Structure 1
Amino acid sequence: MKKLVVITGASSGFGMELAKEFAKDGYPMLLLARRVEKMEALNLPNTMCKKVDVTDKESFESAVREAEAQYGKTDLIINNAGVMLLGDLSVQDPKEWKRMLDVNVMGVMNGMQIVMNDMKERRFGTIINLSSIAGVKPFANHAAYCASKYGVAGLTEVVRGELSPYNVRTLYICPGAVSTELLGHTTDKNIIEGYEQWKESVGATNITANDVAKTIKYAYELPQAVSLRQIVITDTMQDA
């Protein structure tokens, strides 16, 4: 019997593609997102779907414990849930900064804390956090988003050092421009148009969410002794 995989933000984008890929190989899964109907519509076997906001640690942990009671302890958590609200920092609504920091950083920290102590005790397990190429280098109109994704990179590195003596892997993935619903979170239509024009101009339109999902699954399925600590994955034609 394969071990439990927990995926946040599983109602679209990377999360949905991850769910499909892990289902192909018979992994029991807990899928979490606010739009539970989209996860349930996948009709995946051995899968529990729960409506959870990752910023609500109590409901997040309750869902994980319920899945563990049915499928066994979590062997992999993929902290994928995130929002991207691009904007010029000088005029952007601070509520958008807070939303990104709450979901993109606090949500990830919640997921890590929920599973990490059990993993330490078992001396086995994997945590994979979704950062971004915007967590590696700066981009215009990405100030608050970069802050959140640099934060994911930093906290993952720190926890990696804390968990590696216990044989627990802690990795982070930094995707570049990929077509998902993420850009649609941005409220400035001019920024959305500019971003899409940039993607077209550099030809960064061929990589898919499924490509990223397959890469994450590959990193997890390597032997426990092999840790791909950081993966930056972009369209070959993306030069920035």
Structure 2
Amino acid sequence: MNKPLVVITGASSGFGAEIAKRFNKEGFPLLLLGRRLEKMEQLPLDFEHVLLKQVDVTDLTAFKSAVREAEERYGKTDLLINNAGVMLLGNIETQQPEEWQTMLDTNVRGVLNGMQIVLEDMKNRQHGTILNMSSIAGFKAFVNHAAYVASKFGVHGATETIRQEVAEHNVRISLVSPGYAETELLHHVTNEALVSGIEDWKSTIGGTTLDPRHVADTVFFIYSMPQDVTVREVALAITKQTP
């Protein structure tokens, strides 16, 4: 195995699972992290060069330990994909503050944890890529999405700040912002009225949403560019999605 290590968080479903399948097909050794080990074990992968770890990205110690174990086996991390995230929609007047904290911890602190774990070595090697998965909600507001939008705006801000900080070390920091897609994120929402409203809205755009496979292809394209070229940000959605 002469290809470098790829680390993917939130790999049990959605974008993370599709990205894992894409890189596995291309022969990269993988560290897949997620809270649901059984879901990752069921992915249609060639597991010969895949390490699975049940890790919550908010736990810096466990996150770091898993990365170091994978690096002992496969070599230094060349690509970190910070994909783990949760979406708990609601109006702040009625939403439980615990849901705000969950999103800020996972969507922002989890991303920062991952970047801290791998950046020093990438800078020393003058090589490496970090790709943070965000959302169109990271640069556009949506009603009843306040805390989620705040968390994704945070991902955008942190990504661009750190990109500037490490550019001189030839380390690439990229951002991918998908529109509405068929993932499990909507299943996290506890407000049934909001879920129903989103399903009604989906019917106005033809009932179709972004296929996670296209997001995986986008991630692979960004990584495939030469190390001295950074695709700073990509936003993608189905053509009929206007907001």
TM over 0.5: yes
Q: Which residue of 1 aligns with 2:112?
A: 109
Contact 1:5 1:28 in 2 (8 A): yes
Q: Which residue of 2 aligns with 1:51?
A: 54
The reply on whether 1:65 has 2:76 as its aligned counterpart is no
Q: Which residue of 2 aligns with 1:231?
A: 234
Aligned-residue offset at 1:206: 4.2
Aligned-residue offset at 1:199: 1.5
Contact 1:177 1:204 in 2 (8 A): no
Contact 1:204 1:235 in 2 (8 A): no
1:83-139 CA-to-partner distances (Å, cap 9, x unmatched) read: 000001111000000000000000000000000000000000000001100001000
Contact 1:29 1:48 in 2 (8 A): yes
Q: Which residue of 2 aligns with 1:197?
A: 200
Q: Which residue of 1 aligns with 2:93?
A: 90
Q: Which residue of 1 aligns with 2:33?
A: 32
1:131-169 CA-to-partner distances (Å, cap 9, x unmatched) read: 100001000110000000000000000000011100000
SS at match of 1:11: coil
Q: Write the letter of the residue equivalent to 2:40.
A: M
Contact 1:203 1:238 in 2 (8 A): no
RMSD: 0.9
SS at match of 1:78: strand
Q: Distance in 2 between matches of 1:141 and 1:213?
A: 28
Q: Distance in 2 between matches of 1:19 and 1:204?
A: 26
Structural mapping, 1:6-25, within 5 Å: 6-25=7-26
Unaligned residue ranges in structure 1 (runs of 5+): none
Contact 2:179 2:210 in 1 (8 A): no
Aligned-pair identity (%): 56
Q: Write the letter of the residue equivalent to 2:37.
A: V
Deviates more, 1:91-100 or 1:34-43: 34-43
SS at match of 1:171: strand
Unaligned residue ranges in structure 2 (runs of 5+): none
SS at match of 2:156: helix
Aligned-residue offset at 1:207: 2.2
Q: Distance in 2 between matches of 1:207 and 1:142?
A: 19
Q: Distance in 2 between matches of 1:224 and 1:200?
A: 41
Q: Distance in 2 between matches of 1:231 and 1:126?
A: 15
Q: Distance in 1 between matches of 2:210 and 2:60?
A: 33
Contact 1:39 1:49 in 2 (8 A): yes
Q: Distance in 2 between matches of 1:61 and 1:40?
A: 21
Q: Distance in 1 between matches of 2:193 and 2:238?
A: 23
Q: Write the letter of the residue equivalent to 1:54.
A: V
Q: Write the letter of the residue equivalent to 2:12.
A: S
Q: Write the letter of the residue equivalent to 2:77.
A: T
SS at match of 1:235: coil
SS at match of 1:54: coil
Shift in CA distance, 204/2, structure 1 to aligned 2, threshold 3 Å: farther
SS at match of 2:46: coil
Q: Which residue of 2 aligns with 1:145?
A: 148
Aligned-residue offset at 1:203: 2.6
Contact 1:204 1:238 in 2 (8 A): no
Q: Distance in 2 between matches of 1:175 and 1:220?
A: 17
Q: Distance in 1 between matches of 2:206 and 2:179?
A: 13
Q: Write the letter of the residue equivalent to 1:24.
A: K
